[in-house]
Amino acid sequence: MTLQELALELPNKPGTLVAVSRILAQERINLAAISVDSVGRHGHVRLVVSDPKRARTALSAGGFRVEVHELIAVRLEDRAGSFLQVLEALAKARVNIQSVAILVVRDGAQSLVALSADDVPRARETLRSGGFISESAERLVNNRDLLAAAPGIPNESVGLLL
């Protein structure tokens, strides 16, 4: 199973994110990354969770429309310009990035960033040939493994983070 994110479009009103958080907390689904933005009446939420299949089922049952996207985990040096190299490689390969999530786990001294793209196989090959995908980052093959690599995060952190 590959690393996945859940994408939701929500009404931009107080309490909507609480409802999402409550569902995840009740299901004891942990959170590795979240992105929230809004424009006008609509909010967009992207989540990387410990169990995307169960989260999708629970959120759908709660009345939310959920999309699932495959993510690619990329290792970055913790210095200015390292993400620029990833962006330039993908632009040169004409791969459009759809989302980016900085993950709470690190690979040694390096940050891990997950991204989705319109052409995942081409993006993966471009990033692999450019040296951006490491064996250790690729070993984080699923969401549960990703969270297991972050021992400082308690299982109940989704209730704290949201």
pLDDT in tens, 91-115: 999 999 988 877 655 556 666 666 7
Is residue 85 very low, low, confident or very high in pLDDT (cuts 50, 70, 90)?
A: very high
CATH topology for 4-69+150-161 is VC0802-like (3.30.2130)
Task: Give the pLDDT of residue 134.
Answer: 59
pLDDT, tens digit (0-9, with 9 covering 90-100), for 48-78: 888 999 999 999 999 999 999 988 888 888 7
Alpha-carbon dihedral sign for residues 134, 136, 138, 140: negative
* Contact between residue 116 and residue 110 where contact means Cβ atoms under 8 Å apart: no
The kind and range of the H/E element at 11 are strand 4-11
Task: Give the pLDDT of residue 159.
Answer: 36
* Contact between residue 93 and residue 122 where contact means Cβ atoms under 8 Å apart: yes
CATH 3.30.2130.10 placement within the chain? 4-69+150-161, 70-142
pLDDT above 90: percentage of residues in the chain = 34
19 vs 24, 50, 76, 121, CA distance in Å? 9, 18, 34, 35
Q: Return the minimum-mean-pLDDT range out of 3-12, 13-22, 108-117, 124-133.
A: 108-117
98 phi and psi angles, rounded to 5 deg? -100, -30
Q: Domain 70-142 belongs to what architecture?
A: 2-Layer Sandwich (3.30)
Check residue 70 and report its DSSP letter. E
pTM for this prediction: 0.67
